[in-house]
Amino acid sequence: MLRKGLFAIVMLVLCFTFVTAETIKGKITKIDDKSVTVTTKDNKDGKSYDLAKDCKVCKSGKEKDSKEEIKDGLKSEDLTKLPAKGLNATITTNDAGKVTEILITGKKKAAN
């Protein structure tokens, strides 16, 4: 009986841990060394997120569900020269709300 109760508590804690992390799909409209601004279908004005110190920047690969890490990270040309309408990306945050990964999902369009 005690084991079942402890197991239930552990599972509850694990579920809350996984729920607090968030994945946001949208367009990056502004980025600097400390934050990134993302617009979504629901939020056209954009929301700013703080960047984690170990934030990874990746690009989606040619195969589905594959990604390759960008060596230059936040200093890469993809992020320093953002298109006027923004850059399609998926942002992953941790439980503190800081961005841990930026996955560039769309092809870069010419800046207008």
Q: Encode pLDDT of 16-58 as tens digits.
A: 655 567 889 999 999 988 999 999 988 888 899 999 998 999 9
- pLDDT value of position 28: 92
- Residues 24, 85: contact at Cβ < 8 Å? no
Q: Which residues contact 92 (CB under 8 A, 6 or more apart)?
A: 21, 22, 23, 24, 99, 100, 101, 102, 103
